[in-house]
Amino acid sequence: MSDIRSLLLIDDNPRHAEAFRAALHTATHGPFKAHWARTLSQGLERLREGVWAIVANLYLPDSQGLDTFNKLLQSAPRVPILVLAGAEDEDIAAKAMQDGAKDYLLEGHIDTYSFARAIRSVAERDVAEEALFTEKERARVTLNSIGDAVVNADVLGNITSLNAVAEKMTGWTCDDASGKQLDEVFRIIDDSNRTALPNPLESEVRGNNTDGLTSNCILIRRDGKESDIEKRAAPIYDRLGLIAGTVIAFHDVSASKTMSLEMSHLTHHDPLTDLPNRLLLKDRLSQAIEAARRNDTKVAVLFLDLDGFKHINDSLGHAIGDKLLRSVALRLVGGVRSSDTVGRQGGDEFVVVLADIKHAADAGSAARGVLTALAASFPFDPHDLRITASIGLSMYPEDGDDAETMMKNADTAMYQAKVNGPNNYQFFKKFMNVRAIERQSVEADLHRALERHEFILNYQPKVNLGTGEIAGGEALIRWVHPDRGLVSPDQFIPIAEDCGLILPIGHWVLTEACRQAREWIDSGLRIVPVAVNVSSLELRSEGFLEGLRAILKNSRLDPCHLDLELTETALMRHAGPTVALLKDLKSIGVQLSLDDFGTGYSSLRYLKWIPIDTLKIDQSFVQSIATDPGDATLVSTMISMAKGLKKRVVGEGVEIEEQMTFLQALGCDEAQGYYFSKPVAAAQFAKLLEKRPAPFFIPYFPTLPFPIDKPARISRTAKAH
């Protein structure tokens, strides 16, 4: 050290002062500067200027014994003090040592050498203490600045220190905790069974090992609050290698634990309804099957698909669709036992796993229960929605003994339930798999049907109810299958839509219908518009407009002789772009009809501003007008509404005379149905066109067969708004 260190001798003995000076001169830990005070008061005076160490005789003219030491210690608590005493006063010197003196020299041994030795030892100790202090300070600052909590305890388990984070996490201050037992301050329990965990010191003493990272731990604070922690503990050894204590480091993992729980919830649940998703459902089903195998019971899978959900979603929008799905989920959950699992497969498909049931009949009644639960309407202002479901059931062990087979077979049974009509359930039967395979083979054949020219068009007349003349013809596709014979569009159009083949097929229908219309015109027949059904997918496909223009151009057919029939669903999907599309179609000059009117969820206000020329009332209403006064009222309302909107109106599916007269009486413009003619081949349709008036026409019958109610509701399924 290069600084000059001041040493103060307080002693009235000049011999001592001489020896002191000499000792400093020779001392190796210098350089030193000696100061000499003869009395305590002089010494205290000198202390004000600062000294590095004091050598003081306890017996001074103005102060005697331990009192001298105490006064010095009080004035300079941090300065090392060395005391001198008479040979007979060793016990007082020793007492001064106990109180903090660094060393003492006794009269008779005070000389240059002993002074030098004592000063050296103070200097050496000073360096060591300095180093120790720095080290401790570094440890203290480190401990308080790391994010982890750190607790120290001695070998008896008494707390020796807590850093700031540990104070915060345990709720104990370091002062309060010091000397307390580890178990009291650091209370930890197992998070799975909530039993007390042994404190790390115990295992260290027992096994002499370092406690690895443990994360299944809950720390209970002093105030009883709990937090998930991850802890690590390590023993402290003394110089002999014996355990002297322990250091426990820990941190709060509550947030990350919550997050990982949330992540796991997300991967296993459907975000819309919060029901178990496919993954979790499969897992639960496998567990239910395992349990049933052990207990010799049964498991049922109910595969549920909402009927007509797509219509609601397309016409009322996704927000309403989502709301409905959430409400359906709630009803399903409310309708089963807590041991059963309700999950969402995706879209409008739900699955219910009935665990541990005795008879298949129980599954049947559960399915009926689900249908009943869904039967009440869903009041979503301003709509009062009704929805039904089709349910397929499969049973363990009859229909499969693993989750995958059970789900597949319940799905197959659900398809059958759909075919059988809405709002019913079907148990899986082996033959159903044959149907599923058949569907695949239809799809395979459909791919070849166009190039093999297996499609034909039939035409069904629309009749003017005022004049009895044919007012138009609807082109209806037929598939002449080499093995199956005539396949109706209901059997293959949905499959063609699923696999995308509807686009080339639709293109062919338009081309053929336009060609045929031109041929009839060229052969001098009376000109009537030909109607072509266009599916939603075609309408929305890229290049539909250009394709249509090209077809019209090639066939040289005046666009006003082509009538495109679009369904409500096709139109209501996206209000904006559809209107634009319809306007484009109208600008080409074709006519537009709204097919199957009344079965969708069209907003009536919307009807006012879409450029549609004709409304075709769905045959389901027409067919019951003569028997169901409610439907009669609906049809009458639809007709007056169409008139109000200045649209032509066509009644579909007229099968008997009463239906026709009814429509006539209500002022319906045109009608179509088996009563007039079934769809017929082109040549036959040409023959019908030649006759005038049409052979089937019966003039207007002025009195209605039965009275009808006043118009009330407009749509069968959705409220007017």
Binding site for Mg ion (CB under 5 A): 533, 565, 595-596, 652
Q: If binding is defined by CB under 6 A, does position 111 make contact with ligand C2E?
A: no
Residue 674 binds which entry of Mg ion, ligand C2E, none, CB below 5-8 Å type-dependent:
ligand C2E
Q: Minimal distance in Å, beta carbon 500 to Mg ion? A: 21
Residue 535 binds which entry of Mg ion, ligand C2E, none, CB below 5-8 Å type-dependent:
ligand C2E
Q: If binding is defined by CB under 6 A, does position 80 make contact with ligand C2E?
A: no
| Local structure of residue 88 (DSSP, 8 states) | G
* Strands (E) located in 320-387: 341-346, 349-357, 378-380, 383-385
Q: If binding is defined by CB under 6 A, does position 633 make contact with ligand C2E?
A: no
Q: Minimal distance in Å, beta carbon 330 to Mg ion? A: 35
Q: If binding is defined by CB under 6 A, does position 565 make contact with ligand C2E?
A: yes
If the CB atoms of residues 569 and 633 are measured against ligand C2E, the closer one turns out to be 569
How far is CA 383 from its chain centroid? 28
Q: CA-CA distance, 279 to 350, in Å (whole number)?
A: 13
Q: Which amino acid is at 596?
A: D
CB 343 within 8 Å of CB 280: yes
Q: CA-CA distance, 492 to 446, in Å (whole number)?
A: 8
Q: Minimal distance in Å, beta carbon 638 to Mg ion? A: 13
Q: If binding is defined by CB under 6 A, does position 84 make contact with ligand C2E?
A: no
Q: CA-CA distance, 476 to 500, in Å (whole number)?
A: 19
Q: If binding is defined by CB under 6 A, does position 617 make contact with ligand C2E?
A: no
The dihedrals phi and psi of 463, each to the nearest 5 degrees, come to -115, 135
Q: Which residues contact 80 (CB under 8 A, 6 or more apart)?
A: 52, 53, 54, 102, 122, 125, 126
Q: CA-CA distance, 40 to 380, in Å (whole number)?
A: 98
Question: Which residue among 596, 631, 669, 670 contacts ligand C2E (CB under 6 A)?
Answer: 596
What is the footprint of ligand C2E within residues 220-249 (CB under 6 A)? none
If the CB atoms of residues 83 and 513 are measured against Mg ion, the closer one turns out to be 513
Q: CA-CA distance, 393 to 373, in Å (whole number)?
A: 17
Q: Angle of helix 502-522 relative to helix 544-555, nearest 10 degrees?
A: 30
Q: CA-CA distance, 11 to 72, in Å (whole number)?
A: 13
Q: If binding is defined by CB under 6 A, does position 509 make contact with ligand C2E?
A: yes
Strand ranges of the sheet holding 81-85, from the earlier edge strand across to the other edge: 32-37, 5-10, 53-57, 81-85, 103-106
If the CB atoms of residues 172 and 597 are measured against Mg ion, the closer one turns out to be 597
What is the footprint of ligand C2E within residues 576-595 (CB under 6 A)? 595
If the CB atoms of residues 59 and 544 are measured against Mg ion, the closer one turns out to be 544
Q: If binding is defined by CB under 6 A, does position 308 make contact with ligand C2E?
A: no
CB 270 within 8 Å of CB 326: no
Length of the chain counted residue by residue: 721
What is the footprint of ligand C2E within residues 38-67 (CB under 6 A)? none
Q: Residue 571: which of 539, 527, 598, 618 has the closest Cα?
A: 539
Piece of the chain touching ligand C2E by CB under 6 A; list 72-80, 212-220, 586-594, 668-676: 668-676
Q: If binding is defined by CB under 6 A, does position 658 make contact with ligand C2E?
A: no
Residue 516 binds which entry of ligand C2E, Mg ion, none, CB below 5-8 Å type-dependent:
none
Q: CA-CA distance, 38 to 500, in Å (whole number)?
A: 114
Q: If binding is defined by CB under 6 A, does position 615 make contact with ligand C2E?
A: no
Q: CA-CA distance, 217 to 198, in Å (whole number)?
A: 11
How far is CA 333 from its chain centroid? 19
How would you classify the pairing of strands 530-533 and 470-481? parallel
Max CA pair span of the chain = 156
Q: Minimal distance in Å, beta carbon 692 to Mg ion? A: 25
Q: Minimal distance in Å, beta carbon 514 to ligand C2E? A: 13
Q: If binding is defined by CB under 6 A, does position 674 make contact with ligand C2E?
A: yes
Q: If binding is defined by CB under 6 A, does position 653 make contact with ligand C2E?
A: yes
If the CB atoms of residues 265 and 678 are measured against ligand C2E, the closer one turns out to be 678
What is the footprint of ligand C2E within residues 445-504 (CB under 6 A)? 460, 476-477, 488-490, 493
Q: If binding is defined by CB under 6 A, does position 679 make contact with ligand C2E?
A: yes
If the CB atoms of residues 235 and 653 are measured against ligand C2E, the closer one turns out to be 653
Q: Minimal distance in Å, beta carbon 634 to ligand C2E? A: 17
If the CB atoms of residues 119 and 534 are measured against Mg ion, the closer one turns out to be 534
Identify whether 382 is preceded by a cis peptide bond (ω within 30 of 0): yes
Residue 211 binds which entry of ligand C2E, Mg ion, none, CB below 5-8 Å type-dependent:
none
Q: CA-CA distance, 245 to 154, in Å (whole number)?
A: 4
Binding mask 510-539 for ligand C2E (x = CB under 6 A): -----------------------x-x----
Instruction: For the chain, report the end-to-end CA distance as a whole number of angstroms.
Output: 97
Count residues near ligand C2E (CB under 6 A).
Answer: 23
Binding site for ligand C2E (CB under 6 A): 460, 476-477, 488-490, 493, 506, 509, 533, 535, 565, 595-596, 619, 652-655, 672-674, 679
